[in-house]
Amino acid sequence: MKQIEFIKSVYKIKDLPKNDLQHVILCGRSNVGKSTFINKLFGKKKIALTSSAPGKTRSLNFYLAENKFYIVDLPGFGYAKIAKKERETWERLIQDYLKIDKNISLAFHLIDSRHKPTTLDRLLNGYLRELNIPYIVLMNKIDKLNQSEFAKSKKNIMNVFDELLLGENFLPYSSVTGKGKKEVENILNKLFLV
């Protein structure tokens, strides 16, 4: 993937793009590495804002990729330390977007490989399934794990989500080492014939 361009930040459903382009969304808990994923996949250091403190992304951020499809960076679900009201506003916006928008062709659900999937991961998985949005779980930040931790984490995630098949809808990933990047590029190429 080479080309990416920031299009807009959406705070209200009525401001969603109105065209036929397909959307690929990045979702998952706050701080799991969604914005970093976009930067590293396209080799642009700072196109998506990232932070070591959770809660950086606060709107649905639309990027046009390869002039063919949107990549959408979503705010992290369930970040507890911001005002409840603001959090509820984001969560409603994300839920409404998932429900209303018919152009979402794929979701990458990022899970932090250092932690077991949380209630929020189950909730998000439930939404995606209920809404028939195809998804791929990325077990992210695997550069932080040794071999036995890796095996344990993989098992934990597959125990919680028993529909996952390694190498198909479940990929180990690291934006630091580039592990999994080729697989993701292949998936996007297949979908959009980039």
Q: Can you tell me the distance from the alpha carbon of 12 to that of 90, in angstroms, rounded to the nearest whole number?
A: 10
In the complex with ligand GTP, which residue's Cβ is closer, 92 or 163? 92
Query: Residue 24 pairs with which residues in a beta bridge?
Result: 71, 106
Which partner, Mg ion, ligand GTP, none, binds residue 36 by CB below 5 to 8 Å per kind? ligand GTP
CA gyration radius, the chain: 16
Under rule CB under 6 A, how many of the chain's residues touch ligand GTP? 23
Q: What angle do CA 69, 72, 73 make, to 5 degrees?
A: 150
Q: Is-contact 99 52, C-beta < 8 A?
A: no
Among 28, 35, 61, 62, binds Mg ion (CB under 5 A): 35
Helix 181-192 to helix 34-42 angle (10° resolution) is 80
In the complex with ligand GTP, which residue's Cβ is closer, 75 or 117? 75
Q: Is-contact 76 55, C-beta < 8 A?
A: yes
Per CB under 6 A, does 56 bind ligand GTP?
Answer: yes
Per CB under 6 A, does 144 bind ligand GTP?
Answer: yes
Min dist CB 110 to ligand GTP, Å, is: 7
Lookup: tokens for 79: 């970040």
Per CB under 6 A, does 47 bind ligand GTP?
Answer: no
The enclosing H or E element of 37 equals helix 34-42
Per CB under 6 A, does 140 bind ligand GTP?
Answer: yes
Per CB under 6 A, does 9 bind ligand GTP?
Answer: no
Which partner, Mg ion, ligand GTP, none, binds residue 52 by CB below 5 to 8 Å per kind? ligand GTP
* Contact set with Mg ion (CB under 5 A): 34-35, 56-57
